[in-house]
Structure 1
Amino acid sequence: MSDPNPAQAPEKDDKRTLLQRLVEFLHPRPETTDELIATLAEAEDNAVIHTDSRVMLERVLQMAEMTAADILVAAPRMDVLDIDTDREALVMQVIRTAHSRFPVVQGARDNIVGILLAKDLLKLQRSPDLNLRTLVRPALFVPENKDLQALLREFRATRNHMAIVVDEFGRTAGLVTFEDVIEQIVGEIEDEFDTEDEPEGDIFALADDSWRVSGDTPIERVAESFECEVKGSDPDEAFDTIGGLIAHELGHMPRRGESLRLGGLLFTVLHNKGGAVRWFKVTRVAEDAAADAAQDG
């Protein structure tokens, strides 16, 4: 008499396979990133996951298709320190730009010799005879096509927070930071200069007789603080924030390093985040009264 078990096993296997096929027919598994994102949206609608979780998961999926070239700060807009610069001027530049780390060059901007942490400059106060070169740390160089997930792993493995991005010819294309990569997942990260608790924006005086002004500062507050009239070229257009006004005047989203003069003030873009200007550097400039008089003549 034959054992009935072998005959029953295929029947059970067939039933499971049929059930799987039925489930897949009714709820097909996503096969592309777009389909997976749509599935996440459906899960959010059904209260399976929270909105914040869905957004973060979507960003992780989208980041898989991004490279260092997609988020880098272009080389012409990099704030770099020249190792041969006078120490006092070097410190003033660090204070003015307010970054925590800088690419260090020697001579040409493409000749990057390392990275300098702003906090390391404090060591010069204790040891004035210390050679600045001893404070410069090795730079991490990555290609433009480095995918962000691999870059994130490299940042964690090497404990670096900044990478210099080079093009296919070995020239400096720009830089990217650990924070830039993380923001692709969690969204914008507020730093110590951000003013989330201050809805009216903020204005900080700097050591070189200039100011840091947040892009969301109301125009009225800027005008009051600097005792000047700040208005655009089109009297029919009304704007609430200084960032919105300057973007309108330029005709495009301001880029880092761009400048515009309004009401006797020179606004220079220091830092962009989330597609908007986070910080301007503001300096007073003399009115071109002589030039205007010459034109009138």
Structure 2
Amino acid sequence: MKADPVPEGDSSSTSANGDWSGRLWRSFRQLITGQDHEPTLRESLEEAIDDAADDASPGGDDLSAVERAMLKNMLHFGERQAGEIGVPRGEMVMFDVDQGFPALVALFREAGHSRVPVWSGNRDNIIGMAHIKDVYAHIAETFDDAVSSRPFAHLPIEPLLRPVLFVPGSMRIVDLLARMRAGKTHMAIVVDEYGGADGLVTIEDLVEEIVGDIEDEHDEAEDAMLQAVGEGLWEADSRLKLGALESELATTFADDEIAEEVDTLGGMVAMLAGRVPALGESVDHPSGWRFEVIDGDPRMVKRLRLHAPAAAH
């Protein structure tokens, strides 16, 4: 069905008014923000999304809040770097090749992951990635071989390993996604300037940058990561997202600086302390909350006890 043509008189009038109002708006914005450049396509699209949200009517056909959030995440997808997302070194589940095949099977069962980096000698010397599909296929082939007398404990690991993609922390995640797609790999190891393992990024991490957190059957529920243990007392996993913590306790913990740098409780506490706080140490938050480290090691905080301000209980 063809759209009705716009009358010429209306078209020219609308165009003139639109050009004039557009110039007026740009001049006003430059005066307020100090910007003297034309907005980029990204800025224009984000402004249009925000305007649509402001003008949306209940029950209308406009984009939903979820769709708007995903679109804005896509617009900023290219700004993030590999070192800013994924799993930090201290939380990486890794396997020492010298531990043997049964230990690898046990690790897959306990960790609930489908892929695990394998190292030899030290944790910075990652020699490959073990995939659970290859591991169990290897087991099946071994027990189907009627003439094989190889004991299960001595099944070799090295032949199962897949190549690992190593990337610098400064790589843009949009480029990382392209590399992972081209290499048909779902995992990348982020390395520091000395070539040591600094973190791990999966395809799921990249997708979550657009759609938000994706929880599967192996993820711990965030509700279980925070529990009340007394009046004005809570215990929490250091990996608890700040957004979930703030929603549960009805308190704003992350100011602009914190929100830009970290997104977990443990990261915020380390940032407030200026280092990794020791076991038993307490860190005060400007809001009056106190965070006590009840489990951890020199590399990372694992669990904390949260003390509410005196006036809150």
Indicate the larger mover: 36-45 or 25-34: 25-34
Greater mean deviation of Cα atoms: 46-55 or 140-149: 46-55
Shift in Å, 1:99: 1.2
Aligned with residue 265 of structure 2, among 253, 264, 276? 253
Number of the residue aligned with 1:103: 117
Distance apart, 1:153 and its partner CA: 1.8
1:165 partner amino acid = V
Structure 1 partner of 2:20: 22
Q: Which amino acid aligns with 1:237?
A: G
Q: Per-residue CA shift, 1:60-93, capped at 9, x if unaligned? A: 1222211001113222331111122122222222
**The one of 181, 186, 189 aligned to 1:161:** 186
Q: Deviations over 1:128-167 (max 9, x none)?
A: 6553212110101111111011111222222211001112
- 1:237 is the counterpart of 2:232: yes
Quote the offset at 1:44 in angstroms: 1.8
Whole-angstrom distance in 1 between the partners of 2:195 and 2:236: 39
Instruction: Quote how far apart the aligned CAs of 1:32 are.
Output: 7.5
Alignment of 1:39 with 2:48, yes or no, is yes
Mapping for residues 197-216 of structure 1, pairs under 5 Å:
214-215=224-225
Instruction: Call closer, same or farther: CA 1:86–1:179 in 2, change over 3 Å.
Output: same
Letter in 2 for 1:178: I
Amino acid corresponding to residue 180 of structure 1 in structure 2: D
Q: Root-mean-square deviation (CA), in Å?
A: 3.8
In structure 2, the partner of 1:131 is 156
Q: Deviations over 1:96-147 (max 9, x none)?
A: 2221101111111111111111232212322165532121101011111110
In the superposition, the TM-score normalised over structure 2's length comes to: 0.58
Structure 2 distance, partners of 1:105, 1:176, is 17
Where does residue 92 of structure 2 map in the other structure?
Answer: 78
Alignment length (residue pairs): 218
Contact 1:30–1:36 under 8 Å retained in 2: no
* Percent identity over paired residues: 32
Residue in structure 1 matched with residue 272 of structure 2 by the alignment: none
Segments of structure 2 that go 5 or more residues without pairing to the other structure are 1-11, 27-37, 57-61, 144-149, 246-252, 254-263, 268-276, 281-293, 297-301, 304-313
Distance change >3 Å, CA 35–CA 215, structure 1 → 2: same
TM-score (normalised: structure 1): 0.60
> Which blocks of at least 5 consecutive residues in structure 1 are unaligned?
1-13, 202-213, 220-230, 269-276, 281-297
Alpha-carbon contact 1:81-1:105 (below 8 Å) kept: yes
Aligned-partner SS, 2:167: strand
Q: Distance in 1 between matches of 2:18 and 2:54?
A: 24
**Residues 1:157 and 1:19: Cα distance change in structure 2 (over 3 Å):** farther
Cα distance change on mapping 1:238 and 1:67 into 2, 3 Å: same
1:100/1:267 CA distance change after superposition, 3 Å: farther
How far apart, in 2, do the equivalents of 1:155 and 1:39 lie? 32
Instruction: Give the one of 135, 139, 142 matched to 2:167.
Output: 142
